[in-house]
Chain A
């Protein structure tokens, strides 16, 4: 039996291979590279401009001032930017892999699933949202009237990690359904993630509890940007500071349970979505 364990050194080698391939795809011609950079710039500016322009015009939204709103948008960009950069090869959208019958391709690869899913990074073509998030965060921090304690960057990293775990867990939780209904649920993870990405830009501060609580529990878009922003700006209670981490753990465990359950069903039933011409049915 082939030993498919991967050492840390091998893991980083694989990351390097994908990074080189990504760089090669970007550098294949100057025109293409210019277009990608221009497109990234336009799309990132457009994505945050709507809510920020509203905040600018009205001096803030729902109890958050202009730069607090900008901070929140930057935080959201960091979360989704990092996940998009690291979750290439559809690792962030497992329902596509499952629904298209591509998980079976992973069976024959001499690498564990976790490694296959996490090494397919796009650090050059997929980093624009992350980089714009950093830039917006710096602008927001420079204009916020608060003193940042030494431990503040640590808290930022921990909260970012919790938000990312929540997004990934939800994606895998909903993708579990794809094991049972591959065609119908092929895009369920993108439905969840794209809508969460959209809803995360809403400042929830001025909203009533019956809007805010569902967005922090059943559909936790509020944990992707707004709630962590409140914590980082010192506007949350001590107990509330732990909520994102607790929620992240709970969703991760739930997702793991249901994904494994779905996978057991999948290995018995399988899926065949390819027609003889090579295209999907």
Chain B
């Protein structure tokens, strides 16, 4: 049963690496380049003696793990890609459910970076003095729930694209901007000012990567985070399945 999905994932791995692994190097360099200054922001705040609700060690781990698992923290699938590439049209020509195809394809796309960037960086973490072992094993169910919710959001935003008559770029920009802040993956909710952390964690995007990271570094409470994640998964998946069924026949695609 899972064979066809495995083959889809394998094809996806090949599509990312068929030009040679050397072409992944720019992306790896960029990830490292963006990681280092953010780590130093936390260090400089600590050196100034700023009162932070998380320890420096937690903040460093939070940022480091977020960059290592960036693809899983905020799920991006071919659905958020432009329809110009006819990827969405192709999905309807294959004897497989669209949801399964998208998930298999995306998981396959994650693999090269997970193996070539995340794994080596994970092993190198102690060299940089960064703790990468999870503080709580509840982080792993939280990761599954956040990835699952990420896929649900992908389908919901895909429906938005269809309804807006293929303004996929606009949808992508809105989605990226909202998610980068409201997911809490870059700036942890716990250290936001004006008491924002009291409410921001309960909005749906708050159950994405930020929820996992909070449990991973031990700055969140599993009894509070997991039920909220579960709730948003149920709500968003029902919305995604229902809305996708209603939207898919409106889909159009064109060459580019």
Contact = CB atoms under 8 A, between A and B. Distances in A.
A211 B37 contact: yes
A274 B50 CA distance: 56
Interface size class of A (residues with CB under 8 A): 35 or more
A185 B23 contact: yes
Interface in A239-279: 274, 277-279
Given A54-B187, A100-B256, A280-B256, A43 B177 contact: yes
A278 B255 contact: yes
Given A184-B20, A206-B44, A279-B255, A191 B26 contact: yes
B181 A184 contact: no
A198 B86 CA distance: 29
Contacts of A47: 177, 180-181
A199 to B, nearest CB: 5
Interface in B27-64: 27, 30, 33-34, 36-38, 40-41, 44-45, 47-48, 50, 52
Contacts of B33: 195, 199, 214-215, 219, 221
Contacts of B84: 280
Contacts of B221: none
A167 interface: no
Q: Is the interface of A mostly helix, strand, loop or mixed?
A: helix
Given A35-B164, A278-B255, A279-B86, A202 B177 contact: no
A269 B232 CA distance: 52
A32 B48 CA distance: 47
Contacts of B19: 181, 183-184
B178 interface: yes
B164 A202 contact: no
7 contacts: A53-B187, A53-B196, A61-B41, A184-B20, A192-B30, A204-B37, A207-B40
Interface of A: 32, 35-36, 39, 42-44, 46-47, 49-51, 53-54, 56-59, 61-62, 100, 174, 181, 183-185, 188, 191-192, 195, 198-199, 202-204, 206-208, 211, 214-215, 219, 221, 274, 277-280
Given A32-B164, A192-B30, 13 more contacts: A36-B170, A39-B174, A46-B180, A51-B187, A57-B193, A58-B45, A58-B52, A184-B20, A206-B40, A206-B47, A211-B40, A277-B86, A280-B85
